[in-house]
Structure 1
């Protein structure tokens, strides 16, 4: 998160760099994580505000994360939407580059449904923890100027939470701005260093993200099986994608029916399936679309093969010898 006071400045050409990095990263992946791509697109579109959504999404002045206003007006719009707004291009690009790396790693290992539910949960938890921290500082220490009345936006609270989840089981060391620290504590080191180098960053928002990540891991460890949010996301995903999956299954079924893939050997009744003819030389079931046997290459001439309405005839004396049949099969598939 970043605090109010760092308004939009010149672009400096950083967005093309973000786009190039995202495209290059996705091109090298065998599977493209869709949720990560959607989050990148959502944050970028909110920042750019193209004409087709400019009248739909609220202005940044309406969604600043401000604990005082959220408590006073019970403003859920500020609570949830503030994470998707950024003050300037460096703020957006830095957060999205971090999301690109963390999102790909986590979504690839967890799956899209579980990753989406985790991001949704961490968004609510990080914002909620930040809100409670600000309120606690006001109630117990009468400390309101720096945190309770501050204005902040940005996705970094969620990113700090994702960093905690990603590194929770790590046993090695990593470099944070040139300082070697245990990987599982990298988020804490980054919290301090970011505040040193960028004093206007939202310390409370970043701290809320770290605590949300720790809380999420504790809850995850105490609960076996899929959490309710994951199950809900999977249900919605299956419902939305059902027409596509149905059409895909129809296409695959049609392709299998036309391709002529069959089986070798006679059934109990000696009759092939609908639209299928059986080669008398090798007993391979072929599609009715095929003019020659896919197994041995024998042509579908008169007397060779029968359809569903025909019974097999007794093997004639001029059937192919076994050696000739084997030779044809080898030639067919070599």
Structure 2
């Protein structure tokens, strides 16, 4: 007999929370009748300043089949949380999940940019990516490198050797689900290898908290700037001297403002 579900949830707290969040978001999307075009990531929407979609696209699923497939694979990959003795574990999982979400989304946009500008494939301007697949494929790749003897269980029926799982799943989903984003999945694999081979490394609690803070700030500012959501307490103005944005938080009680310019937060342009 297998372990009781509650025991497995206790062993995979981060994975269980992410599955819960993605499931709640799917339920909300279905209840409100929200389409993938409202939460997904595309090249054109990124140019329009909808940078918040890098986050929403990762955690949103439109169809129940898409959600079940991704969450089933993610549940199997949750074994990473139990491998602290080989340098993985819960902290590693949380730290690099954030990197996989952000970097895979940025890489998708970068590939779209090359295809559009270099090869004149304007079709990719409107291609919208949605789903947690990029992160799932990234973790498949990391686990296949760190623990090549592991197995990937799908739906409790299919078992794949983890060493081949990233590319097997890439081909399988491309054939079975024609709408699946080949570029999105491939981006997750590339970022996964970069992490597993140490090209991207050095994440700790300090950098994770700092990165989370910047993610929240950019998320809110892009929502405001793109006109998607009106934060009445927040105003974005241009700074004449440097042409960089300035942020003001409005106090509803006395009308006083707290102003923060790009120079105040130590922003460096490279």
Same topology, TM > 0.5: yes
Aligned to 1:35: 14
Measure, in 1, the Cα distance between the counterparts of 2:35 and 2:145: 36
Q: What are the residue-to-residue correspondences of 1:15-34 with 2, within 5 Å?
A: 26-29=5-8, 31-34=10-13
Task: Tell me how far 1:36 sits from its aligned partner.
Answer: 1.1
Asked if structure 1 preserves the Cα contact closer than 8 Å seen for 2:11 and 2:81, the reply is: no
Aligned to 2:181: 202
* 2:187 match: secondary structure: helix
* 1:135 match: secondary structure: helix
Aligned to 2:133: 156
Asked if structure 1 preserves the Cα contact closer than 8 Å seen for 2:76 and 2:153, the reply is: no
Deviations 1:54-87 (A, max 9, x none): 89xx8744221111211x2132111111111111
| Unpaired segments ≥5 residues, structure 2 | 212-270
Flag the 1:207–1:50 CA change in 2: closer, same or farther, 3 A: closer
Q: Which has the larger radius of gyration?
A: 1
TM-score, length-normalised on structure 1?
A: 0.53
What is the aligned-residue RMSD (CA, Å)? 3.5
Aligned to 1:44: 23
Asked if structure 2 preserves the Cα contact closer than 8 Å seen for 1:176 and 1:186, the reply is: no
* 1:141 match: secondary structure: coil
Task: Tell me how far 1:181 sits from its aligned partner.
Answer: 8.3
Aligned to 1:166: 143
Aligned to 2:44: 68
Task: Tell me how far 1:163 sits from its aligned partner.
Answer: 0.2
Deviations 1:73-109 (A, max 9, x none): 1321111111111111111111111111112x11121
Task: Tell me how far 1:42 sits from its aligned partner.
Answer: 0.6
Alignment partner of 1:91 is 2:63 = no
Aligned to 1:134: 112
Measure, in 2, the Cα distance between the counterparts of 1:176 and 1:120: 24
* 2:122 match: secondary structure: coil
Measure, in 2, the Cα distance between the counterparts of 1:179 and 1:99: 14
Q: What are the residue-to-residue correspondences of 1:78-117 with 2, within 5 Å?
A: 78-103=53-78, 105-109=79-83, 110-117=88-95
Deviations 1:139-180 (A, max 9, x none): 2111121x3321221001110001001111345597999999
Number of residue pairs matched by the alignment: 203
User: Higher relative CO (CA 8 A, sep ≥ 6), structure 1 or 2?
Assistant: 2
Q: What are the residue-to-residue correspondences of 1:1-334 with 2, within 5 Å?
A: 26-29=5-8, 31-49=10-28, 60-70=36-46, 72-103=47-78, 105-109=79-83, 110-145=88-123, 147-172=124-149, 183-219=162-198, 223=201, 226-228=202-204, 230-233=205-208
TM-score, length-normalised on structure 2?
A: 0.64
Instruction: Provide runs of 4+ in structure 1 moved above 6 Å.
Output: 173-182
Asked if structure 2 preserves the Cα contact closer than 8 Å seen for 1:176 and 1:189, the reply is: no
Asked if structure 2 preserves the Cα contact closer than 8 Å seen for 1:66 and 1:148, the reply is: yes
